[in-house]
Amino acid sequence: MSKGSYEAWLELALIKEVSLEAKLIWLRAFGSPAAVLAQPVAELRKHSEEAGPLRGRVEDGVIEAVAAWTKQTGGTCVFLGEAGYPRRVLERFANAPLALFARGDLGLLEERAVAFAGASAPTPDAALLARTLALEAGREGLAVAAGVSPGIAQAALQGALTAPGPCVGVVGGAAAWDSVRLGDEILAGGGLLLGEIAPRAPAPRQGYARRHRLLAALADLLLVVEAPLGCDTLKLAADAADVGCEVAAVPHSPSNPAGRGCNQLLRDGASLVENAKDIQVLLP
């Protein structure tokens, strides 16, 4: 890919004020990011009401900062339609992100994967269970995926690293690319960091919702270990089910409010998981 084409892809992907849906409509209409960026507003408006001047909407220095990140860290920008773009994301989303950012082994995205999710401040027993289940899943050769964030997700990633087994950390914020020690451990263990949010760029709205969306697309199974009613993890579970990912949950005592979201998922049809053997049954 030429430098000009690379920068055009980045520029279009990094425009925050325009929806992904509008960008994809314009790409289908005009063929390439460079062509989209060159269109007058009147032409863009024929295809989407979100039309407005596109040039100049990305802050000065941001594209250069992202390009510098790739050189300094060995990171990669994978653009929609390129070889290496995750197959599952393409298959599961009609509106797949224009760009994904990665460090590590993209080949892990072809492995059978279980994603772990749950409370950011879990009970000690739930954190231990997440770590244990991920450890055993890793030993069985399953890739373990989770958000690079505190709580159940962090416990699961730490368990997978102990296995050691394939490990995929999904990044939800720009700053996390450079500042999370857990990410360094994932990379040192031969794993992968992946995100829709560009490193060293101003964070868009709903960055963590995008992390959830990406996590749901990458896994064969989403396991919710502990979650109260009304939490974001339940929205993640709904998103996962919508794109064809199997959803499972750990049962909890009715007297434990921290686990009532899991019990609700089970009532709604999620598969029950109490141990690593249950995961193997769901992912033979």
Close Cβ partners of 206 (under 8 Å, ≥ 6 residues apart): none
Average pLDDT over residues 137-162: 94
State how far the Cα of 64 lies from the Cα of 10, in Å rounded to an integer.
10
> Has residue 81 been placed in a domain?
no
Q: Are residues 205 and 264 in the same domain?
A: yes
157 and 47 in a single domain? The answer is: no
Question: pLDDT grade, residue 198 (50/70/90)?
Answer: confident
Domain contains 91: no
Residue 234 has a pLDDT of 96
Residue 200 pLDDT greater than 80, yes or no:
no
Residue 7 shares a structural domain with residue 125: no
| Residue entry with tokens 């289908």 | 28
61-65, 202-206, 209-213: least confidently modelled range: 202-206
Same domain, 195 and 70: no
pLDDT of residue 203: 66
Q: Is the pLDDT of residue 165 over 90?
A: no
* Buried/exposed code over 196-209 (b: 16+ C-beta within 10 A; e: otherwise): bbbbbbeebeebee
Are 145 and 48 members of one domain? no
**Contact status, residue 148 vs residue 169, Cβ threshold 8 Å:** yes
- Is 137 found in the same domain as 267? yes
Q: Write the DSSP string, 143-184.
A: EEEEESSTTHHHHHHHHHHHTT--EEEEE-STTHHHH-HHHH
Asked if residue 246 is part of any domain, the answer here is: yes
CA 143-148-149 angle, 5° bins = 130
- Domain end call among 21, 50, 74: 74
Mean pLDDT, the chain, as a whole number?
A: 90
Domain at 121, CATH number: 3.40.50.450
Q: Tell me if 274 is assigned to some domain.
A: yes
Q: Do residues 12 and 132 both lie within one domain? A: no
Is 134 in the same domain as 275? yes
> Is residue 204 pLDDT above 80, yes or no?
no
Over residues 32-56, the pLDDT tens digits come to: 999 999 999 899 999 988 877 777 6
Q: Is residue 12 part of a domain?
A: yes
Question: Could you tell me if residue 277 is inside a domain?
Answer: yes
The pLDDT value recorded for residue 208 is 66
User: Does residue 96 form part of some domain?
Assistant: no
Q: Residue 231 is part of which domain span?
A: 106-282
Q: What is the pLDDT of residues 91-108, one digit of tens each?
A: 998 889 999 999 999 999
Residues 124 and 189 in one domain: yes
Which of 50, 74, 98 lies at the terminal end of a domain, its last residue? 74
Same domain, 120 and 234: yes
Across 62-74, average pLDDT = 89
**Which pLDDT belongs to residue 179?**
60
- For the residues 167-179, what does the mean pLDDT come to? 77
Domain count, the chain: 2
Residue 94 inside a domain? The answer is no
Q: Are residues 278 and 145 in the same domain?
A: yes
Q: Quick one: 145 and 196 in the same domain?
A: yes
For the segment 222-250, what is each residue's pLDDT rounded down to a tens digit? 999 999 999 999 999 999 999 999 999 99
Residues 6-23 pLDDT 10s: 889 999 998 888 888 999
